[in-house]
Amino acid sequence: MDRIDKILASQNYGSRKQVSQIIKSGVVEVNGEVCKSISQKVNPDTDVITVDGRKIEYRQHLYIMMNKPSGVVSASSDKRDKTVIDLLPENLRRKGLFPAGRLDKDTEGLLIITDDGEFAHQMLSPAKKVYKKYFARLDKPVTEEMKEKFEKGIVFSDGTRCKTAFFEETDDSMCAFVSICEGKFHQVKKMFLVCGANVVYLKRIAIGKLQLDQNLAPGEARELENCEKHLILFV
């Protein structure tokens, strides 16, 4: 049970002050009866709540897939650059949303945005071994030595050792698919740099078994289906 004003605010109906005004206007009903108090306790999972006659579909958390474009930072706010949160359409905005993990400013592709901290932790923890798959275009041809180093575990100049990465060649000798279960700063780029190659283009195409929706143009986002959330964690 929770206060009606808190619930409506959590579902993007405005600030607590704005929600209070909506309730006082008499357009909010709970189980067919007009709500008369902003502090009325309701159970959002069982009570039918309507605003202007439209039933609210309560969601404790939001899980959003975005096709992140280049030039946008993976942050909730930034004083200089546009963020992935700034790109969200109005119907997917609410307090507490953050990118679960990050993609570099010039990296594109699959990004999960949520307000569920535990879900994000499960997805990002290296111990959970949720692999993130990237498509990389290089300035030098892919070699068998690169593949061997990635699978053995790349070691950076400061001694940091990366976990085993899955390396797949493509029909284009200048491109490769790489899957990692960590999220070190500029990790994929630095891994290739150790092998003597620069990444000129990078795009994340999958997290776990969840593939980037090819219907999403760069900068577009949509809510995840329940089955899609399971594709991330239960692999």
Distance CA 171, CA 7 (A): 52
Measured distance CA(137)–CA(165) in Å, rounded = 17
Q: Which residues 6+ apart lie within 8 Å of 36 measured at CB?
A: none
Closest CA to 61 of 4, 124, 3, 119: 119
Task: Mark whether 104 is an active-site residue.
Answer: yes
- Whose CA is closest to 155, among 168, 144, 165, 167? 165
Residues present in the chain in total: 235
Q: Which of 86, 104, 106, 213 is catalytic?
A: 104
How far apart, in whole angstroms, are the C-alpha atoms of residue 114 and residue 111? 10
Q: Are the C-beta atoms of 218 and 108 separated by less than 8 Å?
A: yes
Catalytic residues: 104
